[in-house]
Amino acid sequence: MATDGGPDKLSVVVFSGDVDKVHYALVLASGAAAIGKKVTLFFTMEACRTLMKPAADGTPAWRSLPVGAGRWADGGAMDDDFRARNLATFEELLTACPELGVKFLVCEMGLKAIGLTRADLRADIPVEEGGVVTFVTDASADGAMLFV
Instruction: Note whether 97 binds a copy of itself by CB under 8 A.
Output: no
d(CA 51, CA 130): 16
Amino acid sitting at position 99? E
Listed residue (90, 134, 138, 131) closest to 111, CA to CA = 131
Q: Does 45 bind a copy of itself (CB under 8 A)?
A: yes
Q: In terms of CB distance, is 82 or 120 closer to a copy of itself?
A: 82
Q: How far is CA 11 from the centre of its chain?
A: 11
Q: Binding residue for a copy of itself (CB under 8 A) from 19, 44, 50, 62? A: 44
Query: What separation, in Å, do the N-terminal and C-terminal C-alpha atoms of the chain show?
Result: 26
Q: Report if residue 91 touches a copy of itself, rule: CB under 8 A.
A: no
Nearer to a copy of itself, 56 or 141 (CB): 141
**With respect to a copy of itself, which residue has the nearer C-beta, 2 or 119?**
2
- Closer to a copy of itself by CB, 123 or 141: give it: 141
Among 82, 89, 95, 98, binds a copy of itself (CB under 8 A): 82
DSSP 51: G
Residue pair 104/97 in contact by the 8 Å Cβ criterion: yes
Helix and strand element counts for the chain (H, E): 5, 5
Q: Is 117 helix (H, G, I), strand (E, B) or coil?
A: coil
Q: Which residues bind a copy of itself (CB under 8 A)?
A: 1-8, 10-13, 15-17, 20-21, 24, 27-28, 31-32, 34-35, 37, 44-46, 68-69, 71, 82, 85, 87, 109, 112-115, 131-133, 136-148
